[in-house]
Structure 1
Amino acid sequence: MERWIETERLILREYVEADWKAIHEYASQEEILVYENWGPNSVADTKEFIQNALKLKEVVPRTSFELAIVLKEENRLIGGCGFRFDKQEAHKGNLGYIINPSYWRMGYAKEATNALIQFVASELSVKTIEATCDVLNLASQAVLKHCGFFRIRLINKHFEMKGRIRDTFVYEKNT
């Protein structure tokens, strides 16, 4: 995918090596990563993420799309989103997103998620998309519901993370 996905306010594009600084700005903030099973990142962690994203785009057939979310108006990377194909079912996959907290509550997560859904449905023939979410992450639940996902199950005591046992909601959307 060399072309970009464009919305009214955003561009979703492939990562480039220089993006690590903008990513690290949010990926190193412990207080915003309480619902994530990764982070806070060291500089090495963030640079490793970029290297992995660059490698994944070269895999044939492509099974993962890790994309930067760029605010058009400022030409500034404000987050990331991704889609990964399911290994067992060809027309299924999962997505995720993260936004720099300086840009929270502005609708960017919803806008990026809707654009990613449209792309994977129309360009990749994906029929079913899943997303998971910490049961305590109310903001992410709201984004998923707004984007047409339905909660299909709860995974109790899913895994241990950051000193607590996480329960996880699984959401699904058919395209």
Structure 2
Amino acid sequence: MTWLSNEERAGLFDTFDFDAFHLEMRDVYVVEDEVEPQRKWRAGEWTDAEAAEWWEPWLAKMRRASATGRTVRRLRIVTEPISDYTRFLWEGTRFNVSAGEDVRWLPRDQVPPDVVLPPEDLWLFDDERLIFNHFDEASQSMRMERVDDAAMIKFVVAARDRLWPLAVRHAEYQPR
């Protein structure tokens, strides 16, 4: 396994040429810097201004990619009814979309039975650089792994190409 360094992780969006694809398959993620925003959101205290400011570092990356003609796509495979965490993400995804990210949703029960999902959440850059995001039992991201296996990359490309057209654009997705 080749683990990414913090510097490599930080630079992922500076090093792709045309397409970055993100596959998310968990219904809950435990992210330290999301604890307070989620608490405020649940309490009805999370304002649009706070949300926009909180998302800004990511949104700036999305705007830079879009401005240079590159695409960033995110496919979220979700269990319905969705979790509180997923609803928190769903409500904030409008910021991602406004910055140029193409986000789509696919209910887990609509994944065709003949499609085998990859073993981990992932990033695929330019259909040739594959990064798996490994999580612990508590749903915290542990490490990101660069995968150089051509067969695995081909498998992920095929899964993405099969699932992407089935997924619902964010503006049209109404979670249950």
Query: Same fold, TM exceeding 0.5?
Result: no
Please give the TM-score of this superposition, normalised by the length of structure 2.
0.28
Please give the TM-score of this superposition, normalised by the length of structure 1.
0.28
The structure richer in strand per residue is 1
